[in-house]
Amino acid sequence: MDGDPMSPHDHESHDHAGHDHASHDHGMHEHGARHHGADPASDGWDVLEKAGEMYRLGEEFALATVVWRQGPSSGQPGARALITASGEVYGWIGGACAEPVVIREAQRVIASREARLLLLGQPDQVGAALPEGMLFIAMSCQSEGALQVYIEPVVPTPHLTIVGRSPMAHTLADLASALGWRAEVHDAADFAAVEPHPRSIVVVATQGHGDEDALERAITARPAFVGLVASRKRGDAVLGYLADRGVPRELLDRVQVPVGLDLGHTTHREIAVAVLAQLVQLRAAGKLTATGTPAARALTPPAETIDLVCGMTVRADASSHPYEHDGVTYHFCCVGCRETFAKDPHAYLPADHATREA
């Protein structure tokens, strides 16, 4: 959609993509994709390796794959990119027209955890009916290419750390493993040397054997979730003791005690079922995310505006080639649109604005 060599407008827009071509950094780029070669299959494998690395680290992201193209378009079938909740991109999915749209839709996929199939192109390319489940997004690039992009959420496997050596602790680990979760069991002494990850789920089940030290260790690491297996009376006593030791109230308030759904009278091992049931419930509700990460906060869509030259929806920030005219800042999809506007702003300004100037 951005690669028609015969279009002067698009030829100018290559200046917009050029800064990416000049960079061979293999890391993540906010609001920009990595360009490193003409072989989309090779790029795709690199992206999958990066995806595997992020998955093992517990990062949540979206994976975008080009499944169809109609030339001229810079996106190629099989091209992939992963996009984080903050809008960082690793890989190549398309040029100046397609990329901002894919980033925006990927952020929505991460927030909803529901996959989307996009058709990016001209309205006359849609045909009589749009296939069920496909989202059409009109593009205004002069190349008149089209892309189908499949975007899927990647939600990492939960990491459950259980502190305690009781039969219930091992039962909980076995049940979590049966669901495909990563589960590990530590006694209180071993846990002193463990560094919980911000996305870890920690359940303290020491049951009177060093509860206070284990819980303090857990909450000061600020994992995604901390639960204490104890009665409410015992839990209040432990939290009160930690408060007297100077542990901040905001950390103590994050402790779920007693942890687990109320299943009524249960055996010692059955407590594990109640605990896992609550964790599954919280995960389904999206409440087991790392504190302070983009996925943990409600996703605030970036401000958007219309490119007055081509009609595309673009981000209203520094990434969208801002140009100031008469005290107002306008944003554009590429350098070509910005320069076209700069040559004759009145040709593109809304009629009411032109009337006010007159």
DSSP line for 97-163: THHHHHHHHHHHHHHHT--EEEEEE-GGGS-S-PPTTEEEEE---TT--EEEEEEEEE-PPPEEEEE
pLDDT at position 152, please? 96
Confidence of residue 24 (pLDDT cuts 50, 70, 90): very low
The H or E element containing residue 147 is: strand 146-154
- Could you tell me which residue, 91 or 301, shows the higher pLDDT? 91
Q: Which domains does the chain have, with CATH numbers?
A: 8-156 (no CATH), 159-284 (3.40.50.720), 314-357 (no CATH)
Answer with the residue of higher pLDDT: 116 or 126.
Answer: 116
Q: Which two tokens stand for residue 322?
A: 């801002």
61-70 vs 146-154, strand pairing mode: antiparallel
What gap in Å lies between CA 107 and CA 129, rounded to an integer?
27
Q: What is the pLDDT of residues 202-217, one digit of tens each?
A: 999 998 889 999 999 9
Residue 255's beta-bridge partner residues?
Answer: 226
Tell me, what amino acid is at 237?
Answer: A
DSSP 27: S
pLDDT of 138 reads 78
pLDDT above 70 (res 113): yes
pLDDT digits (tens, 9 = 90+) for 45-94: 889 899 988 888 778 899 999 998 887 556 678 889 999 988 899 998 77
> Do 148 and 1 form a contact (C-beta atoms < 8 A)?
no
